[in-house]
Each structure stands twice: as structure tokens, then as C-alpha cells.
Amino acid sequence: MDYQTQTLVVSNPTDDSSAIEKAADLLRQGELVAIPTETVYGLAANALDPVAVKKIYEAKGRPQDNPMIVHITSPQALWELTEHIPDSAKKLAEAFWPGPLTMILPRGRLVPDVVTAGMDTVAVRAPDHPVARAVIDAAGVPLAAPSANLSGRPSPTTAEHCKHDLSGRIPLILDGGPCRVGVESTVLSLVTPVPRVLRPGAITPEQIQEVIGVVAVDPAVYQHLEDDAKVMSPGMKYTHYSPKAKVVLVKGEWEKCRAMLREQTEPGVWALVFEEELNSCPVAAFSLGPKENPDAQARNLFALLRQLDEKGAQVVFARAPLDEGVGLAVYNRLIRAAGFMTLEL
């Protein structure tokens, strides 16, 4: 891990085809490349090359028991990755691919152990970013890609975030601009008796329900799980998305929250509030976005967590977003950034 990390701007895969070719060459040689997707930037490797995939764990400092999502461009590629494609997967691919939905399916024989962390299932998605799609097609192989951050840090939503975390650790970052969604894909298990959302994202449980009927939401989306609890998605048991500051999720009316904030006198206190509240906030604060606009909150969240670090924030009081629709994803990431510490006012 001692690279001169290069960043290439790709505004359009057709005009910038040499950058796409360069990324594809590196991936075929077993190297890592950070690529933009519509959710967050991914750190990609050839999913069928165990030596390459192993480098991802090293570059990120990722626990070896946390499996990765395999990225493809068309549902046809599912045939080489899974043993069996349930009807529900076909319907969901039709409805939401390309897009921010990851499906957990029975693992096929071609998928190396290092991708699935030894599990008998595999996570697959078809991203909806023209650069990600062009790179997968040019490489000609499925790409294993977790978020392109150092393990435990907020996921990267710009090339700058990737550079900050991975400079010197990988040869190439493709800069496709800021991510449209801003939080990671919805992870849906199709190997449970009732399909189950393991991680909420831009595709909501309500939308999934419309296509395949009843869907469960895993309790780990809302609650802390004991370290040794049996978790369906290994990623759910790690502290995540953490800025260096201590984060507290605050529930309740703004007036009560303001009163609580007015009493905070120690240095380094910050707040993450809704846009409507920014002007009347008694401590230093960033706006998460309008209260009724979870899409904007999703887009802003991870960049804000990084900015709070740059500001040297020690304690961050974050307003709890409405946990409906895409808001559930924002709520889930914030409560995990807070290590499940909440304050009810």
C-alpha cells in the first residue's frame, strides 16, 4: 500500500473513455479503483479475483467478517453469481435496477469466500451511475465494492472524501461529482422466510412491498445489537459513520431542543438541525436540510459529518429526522453515528 493516488475527472463516460479504460485495466490487473455510484463512492475490485478483493479489506482496514456487495450492470449477470434466482428477485430487478437496491441471494459457486466472508449468500446490486456502469462493462467482470471510506468513517459522497481516506492506499479515484442519493443502497434479504430490509436506503420498504408483498424491517435498523448477537448483516454490528465527535440524537420539539442547547456552555458543541431551525439555533450548527425533505438530508448527511470533524466538534446534537420513507435511512445512519445514544425531550 504505497501508491501515488491519481484522480481523474469523468463528467461523461463517452467523452472521458480513456479514464474508464484506465480504471478497467487496473481492475483486470487485480488493483483497486474508487468509483462514483449514485449512492456513495465504492472501492472496487474484480469480484472473481480473491487476491484483489483481499486488498479491499487492507486498504479500508475493514473487519474480515464483513461481506461485500457485488456490482453488475444487468440482471443476466445474476446467473453466474447465484445458485437460484427467486421470482421476487426478478420482479425487483425489473422495478428498481439499475438503482439503489441490493439483494441478498443464495451464493453461486464462482463467488470467492473472501467476497461473502464465508457466508452462503451473496449481496448483489446494479448501480445507476453512468460511470460505475461504464467501468463494470469495460472491466468485463462483476465488481466487489464496499463504500470507499476507511472503515468506521462516514461513507464518501465526493471524490475528495475518497482522497482524504485512501490517498496512498490505492492507485486511482474516478471523480464523477457528488453522489445523487448520498446514503448507501437499501439491503434486502431474499433468503429469509419473509423478505427483510437489513439496511434502509433510497428504495423504501413501502416501494418494495408494492412489488413483492409483505416485507419486514430488521430490528437492527432501529436498535443496538449486543456485540455477540446473531446479526443478519455483519455490517450492522459495527460502529459506523462516526465523526470523531460524540453524537447525540435529539428527539422532541425544537423549542425544547433550543432550551437544552442554550445550557451547553463547554467549547466544541455543535448541532445538526433542520434548515428551518438554523437561524434560531443557539450553538454553532449546520443544516441537515428542510425537515420535510429527506432526499436533501440524505444527500447532505455524510459530508456534514466530515465537516464537523474539520471544525473540531467535540459533541454534536443532531435532530432526529422523520423515520419514514427515505427518512428511515437518514435516521438509521444518524442513530448509528450516535452509537444509539438518544435524548428524548
* Amino acid, res. 17: S
Q: Which of 33, 104, 162, 273 is the binder for ligand TXA (CB under 6 A)?
A: 104
Cβ-closest residue to Mg ion? 147
34 touches 175 (CB < 8 A):
no
- Identify which of 328, 92, 106, 327 has the alpha carbon closest to the alpha carbon of residue 213: 92
132 touches 42 (CB < 8 A):
yes
User: How many CB atoms sit inside 10 A of residue 59's CB?
Assistant: 23
Check residue 210 and report its DSSP letter: H
**Site for ligand TXA, residues 257 to 296, rule: CB under 6 A:** none
Residue 21, C-alpha cell as written in the block: 479504460
**Site for ligand TXA, residues 126 to 145, rule: CB under 6 A:** 127, 145
For cell 434466482, the residue is: 85
- Identify which of 148, 70, 128 has the alpha carbon closest to the alpha carbon of residue 103: 70
CB 77, min distance to Mg ion, A: 22
Q: Which stretch binds ligand TXA (CB under 6 A): 99-107, 264-272, 285-293, 334-342?
A: 99-107
Whichever of 232 and 320 has its CB closer to ligand TXA, that residue is: 232
235 binds ligand TXA (CB under 6 A): yes
Whichever of 37 and 300 has its CB closer to ligand TXA, that residue is: 37
Q: Which of 26, 27, 34, 69 is the binder for ligand TXA (CB under 6 A)?
A: 69
User: How many CB atoms sit inside 10 A of residue 206's CB?
Assistant: 11
Measure Cα distances from 187 to 31, 198, 234, 250, 255 in Å.
26, 5, 12, 26, 36
122 binds ligand TXA (CB under 6 A): yes
66 binds ligand TXA (CB under 6 A): yes
CB 41, min distance to Mg ion, A: 10
Calpha distance 53→110 (Å, rounded):
14
By CB under 6 A, the count of residues binding ligand TXA is 30
Calpha distance 271→264 (Å, rounded):
11
Residue 294 binding partner per list ligand TXA, Mg ion, none, with a CB distance cut-off of 5 to 8 Å that depends on partner kind: none
37 binds Mg ion (CB under 5 A): no
Q: Which of 46, 88, 233, 332 is the binder for ligand TXA (CB under 6 A)?
A: 233
What is residue 330's three-state secondary structure? helix
Calpha distance 345→242 (Å, rounded):
23
20 binds ligand TXA (CB under 6 A): no
33 binds ligand TXA (CB under 6 A): no
**Site for Mg ion, residues 128 to 147, rule: CB under 5 A:** 147
Torsions phi, psi for 79 (to 5 deg):
-60, -35
82 binds ligand TXA (CB under 6 A): no
Whichever of 188 and 247 has its CB closer to ligand TXA, that residue is: 188
CB 89, min distance to Mg ion, A: 23
Residue 305, C-alpha cell as written in the block: 459529518
Contacts to Mg ion by CB under 5 A: 147
Contacts to ligand TXA by CB under 6 A: 37, 39-40, 42, 66-69, 100, 102, 104, 116, 119, 121-123, 127, 145-147, 184-185, 187, 198-199, 232-236
